Chain A
Amino acid sequence: GENVEQHPSTLSVQEGDSAVIKCTYSDSASNYFPWYKQELGKRPQLIIDIRSNVGEKKDQRIAVTLNKTAKHFSLHITETQPEDSAVYFCAARSPFGNEKLTFGTGTRLTIIP
Chain B
Amino acid sequence: NAGVMQNPRHLVRRRGQEARLRCSPMKGHSHVYWYRQLPEEGLKFMVYLQKENIIDESGMPKERFSAEFPKEGPSILRIQQVVRGDSAAYFCASSPNGVPYSNQPQHFGDGTRLSIL
Interface residues of A (CB under 8 A from B): 6, 31-32, 34, 36, 42-46, 49, 51, 89, 93, 95-106
A-B Cβ contacts below 8 A, count: 62
- Contact between A46 and B45, CB atoms less than 8 A apart: no
- Contact between A49 and B108, CB atoms less than 8 A apart: no
- Contact between A89 and B101, CB atoms less than 8 A apart: no
Tally B residues with Cβ within 8 Å of A: 26
Q: A31-B103, A32-B103, A44-B43 are in contact. Are A100 and B108 (CB under 8 A)?
A: no
How far apart are the CA atoms of A101 and B109 in the complex, in Å?
A: 15
- Contact between B48 and A34, CB atoms less than 8 A apart: no
- Contact between B106 and A105, CB atoms less than 8 A apart: no
Interface residues of B (CB under 8 A from A): 31, 33, 35, 41-45, 48, 55-56, 58-59, 91, 93, 95, 100-101, 103, 105-111
How far apart are the CA atoms of A36 and B108 in the complex, in Å?
A: 10
22 A-B pairs (CB sep. < 8 Å): A32-B103, A34-B106, A43-B91, A43-B108, A43-B110, A43-B111, A45-B108, A46-B105, A46-B106, A46-B108, A51-B103, A89-B42, A98-B55, A98-B56, A99-B48, A99-B55, A99-B100, A100-B45, A100-B48, A100-B59, A103-B35, A105-B42
User: How far, in Å, is A8 (CB) from chain B's closest CB?
Assistant: 14
